[in-house]
A and B are shown apart, each in its own frame.
Chain A
C-alpha cells in the first residue's frame, strides 16, 4: 500500500528565511508526487508535481520541490518565505498505474513577520 509521511506537524520560520517542508513516501514502482496548499476554511490548491525528468520541480508562488529517489523524499522549498505563505501544506503520492491519490497528514507553516 502506498503512503506519505510528513514528519513535522508544524514549521515556523521568519519572513525572508528559507522554508522547507519535509515529505517521504512509499509506493510500488515509480511515483507521481504532488504538493498542495490549504488556506483557512478553503479547499486545497495544487502547487506542483513530479512525474518524471528533472529532480527539481518548480511550481506556483515561488515554491519548488526536490525529488530524491534513493531517500524516497519530495521536500517542498521556498528560498524566501512570506507571511502570506502561512498555511497547511499536504504532500501526496500515487503509483504509475494507480489512480488513488494518498495524502500525508499535513504540515502547518507559520511565517512570522
Chain B
C-alpha cells in the first residue's frame, strides 16, 4: 500500500509565486488534513476535509486554499507565496468518526520561499 503520498518533496519558490502541493491516499479515508511544522511550534492545522466536496479551515488558513473533488485527493494551493510560508507541510488522513485523529501521515513537503 502506498498510504499517503505527497508531491513534491522539496520546492523553492520566489515571493509572489503560486504552487500546489499534491496529496493522495489509497486507504479510502474520508478525513484528510494539511499541517505545517515549524521548529518549536509543533504542527498547526491549515485546512481539513471530512469528505468529498466538504472543506473547513484550521488554525492557520490564511494564504492557503484547498479543494476536495474526490475521496483520494486533497491538494493544497499557495496563492501568493510569502517567506512566512517557508515550512514543512504534512498531509494526513484517517477514517471519519470515532477514529478521526488516528492519522496516517505523508512523508512531508519542504517548501522554501525566497
Contact = CB atoms under 8 A, between A and B. Distances in A.
B7 to A, nearest CB: 14
Interface residues of A, number: 24
Interface in A29-51: 32, 34, 36, 41-46, 49, 51
Contact of A104 (B35, B42, B101, B108): B42
Contacts of B114: none
Interface string B57-72: 0110000000000000
Contacts, number: 60
Interface string A31-74: 01010100001111110010100000000000000000000000
B42 A45 contact: no
Interface residues on B, range: 20 to 34
A43 B88 CA distance: 10
A101 interface: yes
Interface of B: 4, 31, 33, 35, 40-45, 48, 50, 58-59, 90, 92, 96, 98, 100-108
Interface of A: 4, 9, 32, 34, 36, 41-46, 49, 51, 90, 92, 94, 99-106
